Each structure stands twice: as C-alpha cells, then as structure tokens.
Structure 1
C-alpha cells in the first residue's frame, strides 16, 4: 500500500485538530508520541543489544517527544549529559529527537556538531518524525552538517512526511491516536495497528498530497 504523506502545514493543522476535535492535551500527545518512539526503538534494538540509549533532544515539541519531563526522568535516575560526543562512546543506540516537521532553514549552534556526530557514528540511530537537518518536503540537505546523514530507523508520528521518499532504512508509523474522522479529513490511509501496539512498520512507498 502506498502511504500518503502530510506536508508540514497539514501536519501542524492536524495537531491542532487532535487538540480541538480530538480533545487531546499537548501533554497527552507528547506522551503518546514518546510511547510510540519507545516501542519502535525496542523493535529495532532489543535489550540483548545493549541497554544504553542516548537521546538527543532539541528545543521544540520534537525534543519533548524524546525528553518528556526532565524532573520525572531525574527522579527515575536517568542521567543528563552535556558532552554529547563523549556520551556516544558509551551508548548502544541513539535517538535523534532534535528537529521535527516544523524545522526549516539552517542548522544553528549548538546542533551542527551533534548532527555531524550522528552522521559519522557507527551506532544505530532512530530519528523521530524527521532525520534532523532534513527538509520535510525535499529530504536530505545537499550541504551542511546533515549532508550524508541517513539514520537506520525513522518513526513518523501521526503520518509520514514527504521526506520519506529519500529514506531507505526501517520505517515505523506511530499514529494510532489519529481518529478515523481526522484521518478522513486529511485523506490519510493509515496502516492497521496490531493488538496494543502504538507503532507499525511499513515500506517506504509514499505519495505526496
């Protein structure tokens, strides 16, 4: 089945519908997105491959999907690091939650060095909604720190974005919380979710709308 994709403009509008028509709070949506990401990471990186997961969080909602609430994480004993490159030497898997579908323009400090490290690492990398530095509409950049960055896994939240046309790794969709009426409004054909799964793995055959 070809997957229809959401533009950045429609993705933002869909989020607003989820909070109005769908009656979700922003916290609920971020919790559901974070749960989707965690399930996808567990699919591609079971505990037998190592328990040390490093999450790179940006300043916006995409970072929130990776970070969640800092106080809760500290209470659970999850450490925060300042030196990302050093932390990568002790990690088994990296989650790229720096930029999401609202990203545009140039990558600004302090993120170029982080994205360069993501590109050069031999560790498996899972990107949330978009590989950081990629254009939502036009895919990977032709220059800059993200040129040549291709994560091993992508988790598209709510629905795939047009950039999936350039993505060649394992692709998951985490949008079980999108109601049938909202999916119909945006002409989405979302895959069936099994059991209590919040993600489903799909092939990268996309149609831009």
Structure 2
C-alpha cells in the first residue's frame, strides 16, 4: 500500500501539478473505499499533502482492522481532514476541490455497487473537475450499465 499510494500521488502530481490548479494550495477530495484500494487512497492523501496539495478524505465504510486504523491515524496526525458526509451535489465538489481521487474500488471488485457507493458514484459522474482513479474507475466492474466513474487519469498499482 505504501508504494502504491506513493506511486499514485507521484502520477497525480505529474499529471496535475499543484501550481497548475486554480487554488493555492490545490484542494483534493480523496474518496476511499473499504478495501485495499481505500488504503492506497489514504497513503496517496498523505503523500499529496507532502507534495503541496491540501487533501480532504471521505471514508464512509472504514474497516475495523489495525492496518486501516493506523493509516487513518497517520492522516489525522498530518492534519488531513475527514468529511463526515459526501458533498451531495457535483457542483459543490467542483466549487470546493481542484481534483478528486477515486480510491473506492479496485481491480478485484465484483458484483453490484451498493449504498453508499452507488450514490457516491452517481455524484462523481456529474463533476467537471478531473478524477484520478486508482487501479480502475470505480464501478466499472459492476453489472450495472453506466455505474462506473469516468476518470481523467487511471493510475495502476
């Protein structure tokens, strides 16, 4: 996860340098899922902060496992804020953030997208800011037509 998260942050910084964003520091919404992809997102957020971005994390389904708890603690100690709820409208995300990191589901995701992730993906499909997806666009492995995120950048881990 450490190498994957660092690699993702490095690819994002190369594709979307903080100095090219409309805000200073550049604001990033990192949306993390409950599995390893979400862990990659937490690590990515830490490195983005070190690279000069201002990340905010939305982590709605946190697994109660020591590794993930430690990753959350590391982010908190770096003063990376966690949202209690997802901004309900794409326009709000566009107004508040320069970039979104999709760290919800990875390569191994199978089946249907359930709540709260169905709503999250629906909101993300309406944003106009760039979306960087870790591994693959979340929801693209779903059986539901049109449920996947449409990323501007895919970062394989």
Question: TM-score, with normalisation over the residues of structure 2?
Answer: 0.72
Over aligned residues, Cα RMSD in angstroms?
1.7
Cα contact 2:112–2:144 (8 A) shared by 1: no
Quote the residue 1:105 is aligned against. 111
Give the C-alpha shift of residue 144 in structure 1.
5.1
| Structure 1 counterpart of 2:86, from 68, 84, 87 | 84
Quote the residue 2:34 is aligned against. 59
Query: Could you tell me how far apart the structure 2 residues matched to 1:141 and 1:129 are?
Result: 18
What SS is found at the alignment partner of 2:145?
Answer: coil
Query: Could you tell me how far apart the structure 2 residues matched to 1:84 and 1:90 are?
Result: 12
Quote the residue 1:126 is aligned against. 132
Give the C-alpha shift of residue 145 in structure 1.
3.3
Query: Could you tell me how far apart the structure 2 residues matched to 1:54 and 1:144 are?
Result: 22
Structure 2 unpaired stretches of 5+ = 44-70
Question: TM-score, with normalisation over the residues of structure 1?
Answer: 0.55
Quote the residue 1:198 is aligned against. none
Count of matched residue pairs: 122
Cα contact 2:32–2:41 (8 A) shared by 1: yes
What SS is found at the alignment partner of 1:43?
Answer: helix
Cα contact 2:42–2:72 (8 A) shared by 1: yes
Bigger Rg over Cα: 1
Pairs within 5 Å for 1:1-209: 30-48=1-19, 49=21, 50=23, 51-68=26-43, 69-85=71-87, 88=93, 89-135=95-141, 143=145, 145-146=147-148, 149-157=149-157
Higher relative CO (Cα under 8 Å, sequence separation at least 6) belongs to 1
Structure 1 unpaired stretches of 5+ = 1-29, 158-209
What SS is found at the alignment partner of 2:40?
Answer: helix
